[in-house]
Amino acid sequence: MKKGSTIIVALLIILPSCTDNKKPATSDQNNTAKETTAVTKKKTIVFYGNSLTAGYGVSPSEAFPAIIQKRIDSLGLPYQVVNAGVSGETSSGGKTRIDWILREPVDIFVLELGANDGLRGTPLSETKKNLQDIIDKVKAKYPDTKLVFAGMEIPPNMGQAYTTEFRNIYTDLAAKNKMTLIPFLLKVSVVNQSLTRQMVFIQQLKAIL
């Protein structure tokens, strides 16, 4: 399954809970509603991440947030997607710029950061703290925002302990903050690959992050 499809499934679980539930309207109310609908502001989904979100190496229309916007539009759902991805972004960089992103209301926040930290060997406690700080800022500014966490994994050359603890960052924070978790955004298994395939995967991952 492509990463765009994976996130679409996660969002389709969340979107109904973000939609206002209203009782059937009367005839007069329907007329008023028609006039109001034309100017109703769409709810916002922010994708906050690194090159995977930004769409490094592909056209803007091929970045997965744009693909998700097309799917949302095809379903007639009142949501607009904001691509807040930055190539090369780390959890530290994401923490630094989150306040600027939160100047506008956010209804669904999809967090996709941490992979660059792992590839650089950043202390895991630091990565975890930065990600939690980002989550805390979103929750403090917009308490009703639905949160989605796009998990990542790193190649095993970093050592079993590091790769396992890195993976656990996402499951731990998702559980702690009651976030919808996408276990592994890229859906690529690196557990039992040959050394050659591991090196190819590392190079590909570095190229897109």
Where residue 201 falls among pLDDT bands split at 50, 70, 90?
very low
Q: Which residues contact 72 (CB under 8 A, 6 or more apart)?
A: 11, 45, 79, 81
Share of residues in the chain with pLDDT > 70 (%)? 68
Continuous segment of H or E residues that includes residue 102: none
- What pLDDT is stored for residue 189 in this prediction? 33
User: Cα(172)–Cα(30) distance, rounded to whole angstroms?
Assistant: 46
Over residues 94-113, the pLDDT tens digits come to 999 999 999 999 999 999 99
Cα three-residue angle 139-144-147, rounded to 5 degrees? 65
Q: Which residues contact 142 (CB under 8 A, 6 or more apart)?
A: 102, 105, 106, 107, 109
- What pLDDT is stored for residue 15 in this prediction? 57
- The residue behind tokens 């998700």 is 68
User: Cα(98)–Cα(84) distance, rounded to whole angstroms?
Assistant: 10
User: Cα(75)–Cα(67) distance, rounded to whole angstroms?
Assistant: 13
Per the model's pLDDT, the better-predicted residue between 190 and 173 turns out to be: 173
Cα-based distances in Å from 93 to 98, 113, 116, 124: 9, 10, 11, 15
The reported pTM is 0.74
User: Cα(63)–Cα(124) distance, rounded to whole angstroms?
Assistant: 28
Per the model's pLDDT, the better-predicted residue between 23 and 176 turns out to be: 176
Least-confidence region, from 7-11, 33-37, 180-184, 192-196 = 192-196
Where residue 61 falls among pLDDT bands split at 50, 70, 90?
confident
Domain boundaries, the chain: 3-14+41-208
Domain 3-14+41-208 has CATH 3.40.50.970: no
Is residue 204's pLDDT more than 50? no
User: Cα(166)–Cα(177) distance, rounded to whole angstroms?
Assistant: 17
User: Cα(128)–Cα(154) distance, rounded to whole angstroms?
Assistant: 15
Average pLDDT, the chain: 77
Over residues 2-22, the pLDDT tens digits come to 444 445 545 554 555 555 554
- 8 Å CB contact between 63 and 47: no
Task: Quote the DSSP letter at residue 144.
Answer: T
